[in-house]
Amino acid sequence: MSENKTIHKPVLLNEVIEGLFLQKDDIVLDGTVGGGGYLTEICSKLNGKGTVIGLDQDKLALARVEKNLLPKIKCNLHLVNKNFRNLDLALNNLGIKKVDKIVFDLGISSDQLDNSGRGFSFQKDEPLIMSLKKDLSESDLNASEIVNTWEEENLADVIFGYGDEKFSRKIAKEICKSRKEKKIETTFELVEIIKRAVPKWYLFKKTHFATKTFQALRITVNDEIGSLKEGLVKGFDRLGVGGRFAVVSFHSLEEKVVKSFFKELKKEGTCILINKKPIIPSSEEIKENPRSRSGKLRVIEKI
């Protein structure tokens, strides 16, 4: 899979578009283009006016949008292959000082989960890479490096801290034991190791026993929490007064960062919360797209 059509279904699409309160001349920054679901709708609302800047750290996501969506939409659009933690650089390069609207839809897309070949899913036997970047340089971290070289204590801390996995110590111990015999190279090898480390009853829980470890490794590889904190600060800095910032998060760690950042701004008196409680998908949306179930949308307006 490379530039084929996206299989990603946008989460909370109507709620995001409503929350952004788009005006025709807006300059909009979509920090996480993914399958281009939000982007298409934003462009359609601007109807050929305004400007849209679309960032994604995955080159393939942008290539897919460029090939499949661009020919169909009328939009003054700039696609930039950058992490949103560097949104200031992207805007500087375009000569844009302030934007009117920003949206971040965090985590990975279904295209990455199901078709990237980069080891995001414990249901597919793939190399343990887990990086959102398509082309990795020598200095970029990958999941194989973490499980094969990090000390047991650090591994356990990450699996606990970013995965909230209660068997983190046992899993870290089993990883270190296994790698002495053979380098851990694939997702299925890691799943087998986790299976050996956790108690039997844990294997039959509704949530797959490898979910939390995989989440923790992905967050670590991509420094997702660090990027989010930096992206929020830089985004708010480049947002004009009256501008809106919408963020969709998918797990409690992200949600905590977004909630406390917005709460702090409100305390300072620099924003109002458009929704006091996070907006969550309707039961119809969850039925149609089960992956939407943990989505939470928060929107603020700069004052």
> b/e map of 181-205 (b: 16 or more CB within 10 Å)?
eeebeebbbbbebbeebbeeeeeee
Quote the least distance from Cβ 238 to ligand SAM, whole Å: 15
Question: For residues 174 and 231, which CB has a smaller minimum distance to ligand SAM in the complex?
Answer: 231
Quote the least distance from Cβ 138 to ligand SAM, whole Å: 21
Residue 35 is a binding residue for ligand SAM (CB under 6 A): yes
Quote the least distance from Cβ 61 to ligand SAM, whole Å: 4
SS3 of the chain: CCCCCCCCCCCCHHHHHHHHCCCCCCEEEECCCCCCHHHHHHHHHHCCCCEEEEECCCHHHHHHHHHHCHHHCCCCEEEECCCHHHHHHHHHHHCCCCEEEEEEECCCCHHHHHHCCCCCCCCCCCECCCCCCCCCCCCCCCHHHHHHHCCHHHHHHHHHHHHCCCCHHHHHHHHHHHHHHCCCCEHHHHHHHHHHHCCHHHHHCCCCCCHHHHHHHHHHHCCHHHHHHHHHHHHHHHEEEEEEEEEEECCHHHHHHHHHHHHHHHHHCCEEECCCCCECCCHHHHHHCHHHCCCEEEEEEEC
- Kindly identify the residues of this chain, within the stretch 166-225, that bind ligand SAM according to CB under 6 A: none
Stretch that binds ligand SAM, among 55-63, 116-124, 165-173, 184-192 (CB under 6 A): 55-63
Q: Which residues have C-beta within 8 Å of that of residue 211, sequence separation ≥ 6?
A: 122
C-alpha–C-alpha distance, residues 253 and 240, integer Å? 28
C-alpha–C-alpha distance, residues 303 and 286, integer Å? 34
Residue 105 is a binding residue for ligand SAM (CB under 6 A): yes
Stretch that binds ligand SAM, among 26-34, 94-102, 118-126, 165-173 (CB under 6 A): 26-34
For residue 5, give the amino acid letter: K
Quote the least distance from Cβ 118 to ligand SAM, whole Å: 11
Quote the least distance from Cβ 205 to ligand SAM, whole Å: 25
Residue 83 is a binding residue for ligand SAM (CB under 6 A): yes
Give the number of residues in contact with ligand SAM, rule: CB under 6 A: 24
Interface pick for ligand SAM out of 50, 77, 109, 147 (rule CB under 6 A): 109
Residue 249 is a binding residue for ligand SAM (CB under 6 A): no
Interface pick for ligand SAM out of 46, 61, 216, 232 (rule CB under 6 A): 61
Stretch that binds ligand SAM, among 78-86, 162-170, 172-180, 198-206 (CB under 6 A): 78-86
Quote the least distance from Cβ 234 to ligand SAM, whole Å: 11
For residue 15, give the amino acid letter: E
Interface pick for ligand SAM out of 79, 132, 146, 198 (rule CB under 6 A): 132
Residue 57 is a binding residue for ligand SAM (CB under 6 A): yes
Question: For residues 35 and 163, which CB has a smaller minimum distance to ligand SAM in the complex?
Answer: 35
- Kindly identify the residues of this chain, within the stretch 218-247, that bind ligand SAM according to CB under 6 A: 227, 231
Residue 37 is a binding residue for ligand SAM (CB under 6 A): yes
Residue 55 is a binding residue for ligand SAM (CB under 6 A): yes
Q: Which residues bind ligand SAM (CB under 6 A)?
A: 8, 10, 31-32, 34-38, 55-58, 61, 83-85, 105, 107-109, 132, 227, 231
